[in-house]
A and B are shown apart, each in its own frame.
Chain A
């Protein structure tokens, strides 16, 4: 695996002539002059095919470089990565998530990449906003692999059949509620609702807060909203639930943050909320043709949406050859030949040039995502302050409290108050 193991491996190997079986680890890379990169990322088999093709091309373009890549699903990824990092065997090249980036960067597990900017990493055309979104405390910690926005996914035909206008960009929250109610009264199918219950969705909550000039977090890391705000959020969805406009609490509780558990996929709603890079995976599991637009807005309010990286490529702080890793990041996110192979699978490329380059290859479904990002771009607001330590835990608290409100264990106001209380306690502890 890495060079420190070679001595021991040889010791073991001397006694055991089982070279044909993989008892002795991968063959030590002999051509060291050009370097070796261990890469880890999460994804499924489809992403694996794209990524491996791009890696092969990178190896061809850099003779002598070896790349060992490993991948697994999101659920297993973080335990494995943490074990490797804590076990002193961190991979060089690490796929990072927006939230985990802050945790890893602030603990010094991944390194700043500013020194490679303009050299190995020629990503200036990403624009400042897409560089800032991959930065922690003013330093760049990752190459933006794909731009993401929070979005509304819906089955346009179902809305048409009900004779109600489907959600559109610029629809207000009140308008959204009205249209859902109209759908409900026109709807004839049992157990099918206009929309999923969005109260558990942190991304949607954030957009809603921002349209009112609030935020999830302040720049100093404190909570950017108060109990009344959270209470109003839960109350909005309680009204929706009462009007039978959104799915009941027990249906929403089936949702596990994964496409196959979402109400629109299980057939209980014709509208749902997701990050735009998940759109294709939704479409794959649904027979009806899906559409995607931006989240509802506040009339006369501020822009709620922003573009955040769906994921980024980072470099371990213990990597022996960070320059080579940076070169590989560049190849995958900015070089046309590499980025084209990755396609839209990880999000819409941040570089306009790359976006242009891959457009012709895109499927109809992918094109809708690019169009969404392009149509949202004029309406986006500033990047929110970076989430503090403990933000992931607060997300889980929001989900739990949304369920408590949904199952009517607490009132929306009580829910709002306890969300703020618990979040404050978590921030204090972290």
Chain B
């Protein structure tokens, strides 16, 4: 960073010497803010306002249809003291994050490594592996998943071949959340693509040199691939964690919006949605949303703090 500042300074000396702090500030920061401008405009004009309004609403009893009344911290107090559904939703969501994120990333990385190698038909494989992710949020997913994981579904048909009689995975409260984890892993296309792009960025001569030195593939993976891919792994980890915390559609589509059976798939945002739009408590839903922001922010900040130990940047 210091080198960069030095360059800025040297550039400064080339042009006419600016006078006063304002000019200096513009000189130092002008380019940065010019490039940042699109986002700044979007942030202040489109994003910030609605976010602040929802923050305000979290201190009201807004019911969607009549004017909100200020109720102080009542919503937050209720969440902390008197809402078993909130506790249930937190548990379901944490379990989902803890399971789906590592599994999905590991799967995506493994497949990306395989697909990065030279072999026949690579584009076709890649496309097929991405296909599930194309289905995204389709309502058809609900039907498809039932075909797989109901008591008479494909999974049980296969288990029956080896003599096991499986339960109705998708509608049994002990297993239903895991079928959603499987769904999340099945749609591993996005992190896979990002890993592939990251693998492309690793200079090939490093592998060549390592091969010449007689390094084993495992060693090459640990010494070259992992460190050089670490910014991308970090990115995928942060993004997938945020997305998993906010996951809504899978549970909404598969449980028919109920989060059932017995709240076993009551994702946090699904609960929030029910409160807002089924039970007319947008004020409470807003408070739920801001608590989620705080939870995710803590996780993210913590992830960033760990980067200095394992993420390798070129700068």
User: What is the interface of chain A, defined by CB distance below 8 A to chain B?
Assistant: 75, 78-79, 82, 85-86, 103-104, 107-109, 191, 250-254, 256-258, 260-261, 266, 268, 390, 392-393, 396, 399-400, 403-404, 407, 409
Bound complex: CA of A85 vs CA of B277, how far in Å? 12
Within 8 A of A (CB), among B47-94: 63-66
**B65:A253 contact, CB within 8 angstroms:** no
**B64:A258 contact, CB within 8 angstroms:** no
- B261 on the interface (CB 8 Å rule)? yes
List 25 interface pairs A-B (beta carbons < 8 Å), by A numbering. Answer: A75-B252, A75-B257, A78-B278, A79-B276, A79-B277, A82-B277, A86-B282, A103-B280, A104-B65, A107-B63, A107-B64, A108-B65, A109-B65, A250-B168, A253-B168, A253-B173, A254-B146, A254-B170, A256-B255, A256-B256, A399-B260, A400-B260, A400-B262, A403-B262, A404-B262
- B116 on the interface (CB 8 Å rule)? no
Choose from A75, A108, A251, A393 the contact partner of B151 (Cβ within 8 Å).
A251
Q: Which residues of A contact B173 (CB under 8 A)?
A: 253, 403, 407
Q: Which residues of A contact B66 (CB under 8 A)?
A: 107-108
Interface residues of chain A: helix, strand, loop or mixed (majority): helix
Bound complex: CA of A399 vs CA of B282, how far in Å? 23
Tally B residues with Cβ within 8 Å of A. 33
Within 8 A of A (CB), among B255-305: 255-258, 260-263, 273-274, 276-280, 282
Bound complex: CA of A261 vs CA of B65, how far in Å? 32
**B167:A250 contact, CB within 8 angstroms:** yes
**B262:A85 contact, CB within 8 angstroms:** no
Bound complex: CA of A350 vs CA of B193, how far in Å? 58
Residue in B143, B255, B273, B279 with the greatest tally of chain A CB atoms within 10 Å:
B279
Q: Which residues of B contact A109 (CB under 8 A)?
A: 65
Choose from A79, A103, A250 the contact partner of B172 (Cβ within 8 Å).
A250
Q: Which residues of A contact B252 (CB under 8 A)?
A: 75
Bound complex: CA of A258 vs CA of B151, how far in Å? 19
List 20 additional contacts besides A86-B65, A254-B146; criterion CB under 8 Å. Answer: A75-B252, A79-B273, A82-B277, A103-B65, A107-B63, A107-B66, A107-B280, A191-B151, A191-B152, A250-B167, A250-B172, A251-B168, A253-B171, A253-B173, A256-B142, A396-B258, A399-B260, A400-B263, A407-B172, A407-B173
Shortest CB distance A60–B (Å): 35
Choose from A79, A253, A260, A261 the contact partner of B261 (Cβ within 8 Å).
A253
Shortest CB distance A24–B (Å): 20
Within 8 A of A (CB), among B125-176: 142-143, 146, 150-152, 167-168, 170-173
Known: A104-B65, A396-B258. A254 touches B150 (CB 8 A): yes
Q: In the complex, what residue of chain A is closest to B173 when comparing beta carbons?
A: A407
Q: In the complex, what residue of chain A is closest to B62 when comparing beta carbons?
A: A86
Q: Which residues of A contact B255 (CB under 8 A)?
A: 256
Q: Which residues of B contact A252 (CB under 8 A)?
A: 171
Q: In the complex, what residue of chain A is closest to B84 when comparing beta carbons?
A: A422
Bound complex: CA of A103 vs CA of B280, how far in Å? 9
**B258:A399 contact, CB within 8 angstroms:** yes
Q: Which residues of A contact B142 (CB under 8 A)?
A: 256
Choose from A103, A258, A266 the contact partner of B256 (Cβ within 8 Å).
A258
